[in-house]
Amino acid sequence: MSITSFVNNIAKITLSTPYAVGDVNVYLIKGDVLTLVDAGPLTETAWGQLSAALATLGYSPGDIEQIVLTHHHPDHAGMLERFSESVKIIGHPYNQYWINRDEYFHRVYDDFFYRLGVESGLPEAYLSAVSKFKSPLKYMGNRALDGVVMEGEALPGLPDWKVIETLGHAQSHLSFFRESDGVMIAGDHILAHISPNPIIEPPFEGGIERSKPLLQYNRSLMKLMDIPVSFAYTGHGKEVEDVHGLIPKRMAKQEERAKAVLEMVQGKRQTVFELCRHLFPAVYKKELGLTLSETIGQLDYLESLGSIRKEKGDSAFHYYA
């Protein structure tokens, strides 16, 4: 756990998580309403760390008036249920499905990933692992969303903070921008040390079409080029000072990864699963959901450029150059 003191009304608090990503950053903002941006995972350790950090800053969890979410992942939104009912939970409307999971959530989730598994060419033995994609939700409580904010709106009680929709890493991802000094709270949209995973999610709002998170992510990244960001607080690790310098580097890296995937597809028709095994030989078994998402992201990207096409076989899609 670590904390910084307030700088221009923002204090950064770093909490442990049980996930491979390591620590998560949450932010306390002083304004008309005492606001916490993200809440950390639902663990006793994180709750103890957060309470201690708030005490150092002169507050207690009972003083928090609202929690604003950058996105619904359990390392960011897990701990919501530990706060009193009077605390308003605010975020993108899509958070609702994930932070307050019901029967509908589980049915849509399980059906979607089973179908995605079949279409990706997963062998029978792996299809049973599909339900384990949900296991990170172990550290996420259940708590309803109290209010929604959309692109361009100001945060409640924080009139100088504007909402910027930055979908890609999650279908609920928002960043928050303070025009007066160009400071952004970027969640996992921008990270100093890595690119966030473009994670595939079920279409909870109807239909069977899945999102194309990597294409979405690239668009959300380019969107920041038009916004005068001077400094970005991130969801994990250090702040980013040169956001506009980092974005072209990330896009170039993305281009490089896609090129490697294109080479694999050239000369040999392949399913998502076959490519996934080649791309991530050391981790695909352990992190099947994430590595499938990553592989499909690259394929969506190459398809959008017209470099590859897919054709449906008996059950799985086969990709070819």
Q: Footprint of Zn ion on this chain (CB under 5 A)?
A: 75, 188, 235
Residue bearing tokens 């890493």: 169
Terminal-to-terminal C-alpha distance of the chain: 48
The nearer residue to Zn ion, 29 or 191, going by C-beta atoms, is 191
Containing 235, the helix (H) or strand (E) segment is none
The nearer residue to Zn ion, 188 or 201, going by C-beta atoms, is 188
CA dist 277 and 284 (Å) reads 6
Shortest distance in whole angstroms from residue 70 CB to Zn ion: 8
Which single residue brings its beta carbon nearest to Zn ion? 188
The nearer residue to Zn ion, 188 or 300, going by C-beta atoms, is 188
Handedness of CA 61, 67, 69, 73 (dihedral sign): positive
Shortest distance in whole angstroms from residue 18 CB to Zn ion: 13
How many other CB atoms are there within 10 angstroms of residue 1's CB atom? 15
Characterize 59-73 residue by residue with b for buried, 16 or more Cβ atoms within 10 angstroms of its Cβ, and e for exposed.
bebeebbbbbbbbbb
> Strand, coil or helix: what is 239?
coil
- E strand intervals along the chain: 2-3, 10-15, 24-29, 35-37, 66-68, 88-91, 147-148, 154-155, 158-165, 174-178, 183-185, 231-233, 309-312, 317-320
Shortest distance in whole angstroms from residue 26 CB to Zn ion: 11
The nearer residue to Zn ion, 75 or 300, going by C-beta atoms, is 75
Shortest distance in whole angstroms from residue 17 CB to Zn ion: 8
The nearer residue to Zn ion, 170 or 183, going by C-beta atoms, is 170
Shortest distance in whole angstroms from residue 76 CB to Zn ion: 6
The nearer residue to Zn ion, 71 or 310, going by C-beta atoms, is 71
Shortest distance in whole angstroms from residue 314 CB to Zn ion: 37
